[in-house]
């Protein structure tokens, strides 16, 4: 499962998706727009630390995120 698929499978209501983006942005110390680019597959994190955080939050292996 990729990060994009994980994000798309969150409940349709905006609150769980928005909370996911806010939480990851806060933990990675990046803007919410950056996280939205990651979940849409338009960009990838350049820091391994960010990949680890995404892996922790999603339960997806870092090699499968993108």
Cα–Cα distance list, 62 to 18, 36, 47 (Å): 22, 17, 12
How far apart, in whole angstroms, are the C-alpha atoms of residue 10 and residue 30?
A: 21
For the chain, the domains span 3-64
Q: What is the pLDDT along the chain (66 residues), one digit of tens a residue?
A: 899 898 888 876 667 888 999 999 999 999 999 999 999 999 999 999 999 999 999 999 999 999
pLDDT of 14: 60
CA distances from 36 to 32, 39 (A): 6, 5
């Amino acid at each position: 499962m990729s990060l994009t698929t994980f994000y798309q499978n969150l409940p349709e209501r905006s609150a769980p998706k928005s909370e996911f983006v806010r939480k990851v942005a806060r933990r990675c110390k990046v803007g919410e727009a950056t996280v939205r680019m990651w979940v849409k597959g338009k960009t990838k994190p350049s820091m391994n630390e960010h990949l680890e955080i995404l892996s922790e939050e999603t339960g997806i292996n870092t090699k499968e995120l993108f």
